[in-house]
Amino acid sequence: MSRVLSVQSHVAFGYVGGKAAVFPLQCLGYDVDVVNTVNFSNHSGYGRFGGSKADAEELTRIFGLMAQNGLLRSERLLTGYIPSGEALAAVKDMATKLREANPELIYLLDPVLGDAGQLYVAPSVIPVYRAMLPLSTIITPNWFEVEVLTDVKIENMSTLRKALKILHDEHKVPNIVMSSIPLKPWLKAALPSRSRTPPGSEPSDEDFLLCISSSQNQTGDDAPSIVHAGRVPYISGYFSGVGDLFSAFVVAHYKPTSPILQTNSKPLDTASGETALSRAVSAALTKTHAMLLLTNEYAQQLPEEERQPTDDEADEKEADRRVRRMKGRELRLIQGQDIIRGTQKATERRMDLWAGFWTS
Amino acid sequence: MSRVLSVQSHVAFGYVGGKAAVFPLQCLGYDVDVVNTVNFSNHSGYGRFGGSKADAEELTRIFGLMAQNGLLRSERLLTGYIPSGEALAAVKDMATKLREANPELIYLLDPVLGDAGQLYVAPSVIPVYRAMLPLSTIITPNWFEVEVLTDVKIENMSTLRKALKILHDEHKVPNIVMSSIPLKPWLKAALPSRSRTPPGSEPSDEDFLLCISSSQNQTGDDAPSIVHAGRVPYISGYFSGVGDLFSAFVVAHYKPTSPILQTNSKPLDTASGETALSRAVSAALTKTHAMLLLTNEYAQQLPEEERQPTDDEADEKEADRRVRRMKGRELRLIQGQDIIRGTQKATERRMDLWAGFWTS
């Protein structure tokens, strides 16, 4: 196996950022170099949180010392929440050097910007992320982050295609993964049948979230990308760190069969309909969803006061109400480590080829 | 299983402090709350290293937020390298509160002071550690640290007994573990036969390190402690993070059968000759030594320039020489995770009862 350099937030209690990503990567056999962008007590969802942030100078010093010591040589790079444009620029410089030194570097860039229409980083971060996109191998934005990065409001298939095209062609991103997409009617109508119709006993389409992946087709510059889609049942309630865990699984399970930047490689296995990306995303969906089920099961059996539904007004009146809910919904990574390793099988969540994505 | 709060150093690259302790604890089923006392690029043995230190104020803020959020509730506490007296005092305040809230807290205090006659913390740390000893359940000092804490120079059985007595009686430490003790002639002569004579095919006594554990006998105040000893083969060369890994294994495998502070408990199982402490230490020796063997095997097969012997003069002339050696000797925790979990069996290293310790 190889090394992963993980650059993201650290919390003392609970599982978000590095705490959600590092242990799974280690379980899967990777040596992980861990640079903490913040050192906080717990995640911000608790309402009360704090600690220290690493500024650009500190990050640059740590990366510089690692480089001087010949320790900046990981084959994979994973970056997540980075709070300021300046700190992100320090990460960009390091990623640029890693990429220059190793064209086969596998860099999963999670452009953490916000969700559901709301930014939760400084706006100065956005142009830096845009400038970093050509360094990436895979990006894992959510719907909102794709809109912010491309300046395209996604409202139908045509704008969805446009956004992916901008990321692939203008920003030179080889692989895009968007997960946790609500199944809007126009999206549902366009999906290939396998991704649209759930097996008999399962709930209706409204109860699913969609994941879309898109791999640049390396047979020619103008060839459209290879798109896959997969569904996972929606679990109500907000769980933190899920995206960080998902990205860790994607980077861990991404196994390109040929150097990724080489042209004329064959990214699509025509027999299975899979790409290196869709295979990694299928594994990541499978394990992330199994971990969410395990966490939700645990949360459901807690005493009632520890599993109050999300209600900002009630939280406002009683700060501890929010804290109790958050605590009960921390990912059960330790208890689910056999799922991470794959020694305990989970229901497979598969990405299927969306053959007509660019033409229908 | 339960939670462990681990308070120690963090390095981006390699395995010392928290990086040596947290992953093993997680593999063994513990949720680990991780508070970083420093955030460095790599350990100091590389010569070039740096990053940031958490000061007392930052540690107090993080512990305070955790307490406010009801997240300071771990059943076990593990503290290691803490760079300043002020920062250590902040840890002391937190440990005092945890102990008051839970008399059954299992607190493994590793009083990191130095080794082989040299301090590597500020001297202001020493009185704070002395004041913290009564809070501990287990301490894991090395030989030098016992001497510093007790102000006793250990040169024979009588001074060894005196030092242990001071720790148990004056400082109220229930359980003491000293590992990596060179087998000096007077010590060898005093050892019970099982701990002294190695099986036929193994090397001579000089090639062993000794581990001594001592559990306060809770049947009465004046009763002498129950002492065990065990040997592990000496592996030449310096490996970093071994003590941190060992302490993590001790706290993970310590399973007292009755509340530990209760009097009239039966710490010695007369059938097996074991105590809860000696059992934990046997498991810790077994796994730590297997991990060292794995690491040494790896280091031995590296190209010659990456496995130069320790030589301060040669290092002085060429900084990268030291760096290459250190890198090749980083613990192979990830590759040895089956040893950590116990799914891959390692040669057992057993602590044996030293019945005549106090009387012979």
Q: Min CA distance, B31 vs chain A (Å)?
A: 6
pLDDT at A15: 98
Domain assignment present for residue A101? The answer is yes
DSSP A216-240: --TT-TTSPPEEEEEEEE---S--T
> Once rounded to an integer, what is the mean pLDDT over residues B311-337?
90
Q: Residue B301 belongs to what domain range?
A: 3-353
Domain assignment present for residue A337? The answer is yes
Domain assignment present for residue B360? The answer is no
pLDDT at B120: 86
Express each pLDDT in B11-27 by its tens digit: 999 999 999 999 999 99
pLDDT at B350: 95
pLDDT at A101: 94
CA B321 to chain centre: 29
Residue B84: how many other CB atoms lie within 10 Å: 18
Q: Give the pairing of strands B118-119 and B226-233.
A: unpaired
Q: Which residues contact A105 (CB under 8 A, 6 or more apart)?
A: A75, A76, A77, A98, A99, A137
CATH number, domain of A267, equals 3.40.1190.20
Both tokens of A134, joined, read 């050509």
Domain assignment present for residue B359? The answer is no
Asked if B26 lies within 8 A of A320 by C-beta distance, the reply is: no
CB A312 within 8 Å of CB A331: no
Residues B27 and B339: their CA atoms lie apart, in Å, by 10
> Once rounded to an integer, what is the mean pLDDT over residues B329-342?
97
pLDDT at A195: 67
Residue B354: how many other CB atoms lie within 10 Å: 23
ipTM: 0.94
Q: Min CA distance, B20 vs chain A (Å)?
A: 12
Express each pLDDT in B89-108 by its tens digit: 999 999 999 999 999 999 99
Chain B positions touching A1 (Cβ under 8 A) are: 334
pLDDT at A263: 41
Domain assignment present for residue B175? The answer is yes
Chain A positions touching B70 (Cβ under 8 A) are: 320, 323-324, 327
Domain assignment present for residue A358? The answer is no
Express each pLDDT in B192-217 by its tens digit: 876 655 555 455 655 889 999 999 97
**% of chain B with per-residue pLDDT over 70:** 92
As for how many domains chain B has, the answer is: 1
Chain B positions touching A23 (Cβ under 8 A) are: 23, 26
Residues A187 and A196: their CA atoms lie apart, in Å, by 9
CB pairs under 8 A between A and B: 126
Q: Which residues contact A276 (CB under 8 A, 6 or more apart)?
A: A215, A254, A255, A256, A257, A260, A267
Closest CA to B209 of B114, B111, B117, B285: B285
User: Which 8-state DSSP code applies to residue B307?
Assistant: S
CA B101 to chain centre: 25
pLDDT at B263: 41
| 3-state SS assignment for residue A97 | helix
Mean predicted lDDT score pLDDT of chain B: 91
Domain assignment present for residue A179? The answer is yes
Express each pLDDT in B178-188 by its tens digit: 988 988 889 98
Dihedral sign from CA coordinates of B207, B342, B23, A63 = positive
Domain assignment present for residue A359? The answer is no
Q: Which residues contact B332 (CB under 8 A, 6 or more apart)?
A: B291, B294, B295, B298
Strands (E), B85-201: 106-109, 114-115, 118-119, 138-139, 175-182
Of the candidates A31, A320, A333, which has its C-beta nearest B334's C-beta?
A: A31
pLDDT at B307: 81
Q: Which residues of chain A carry a pLDDT beneath 70?
A: 1, 194-206, 218-222, 258-266
CB B1 within 8 Å of CB B29: yes
pLDDT at B39: 97
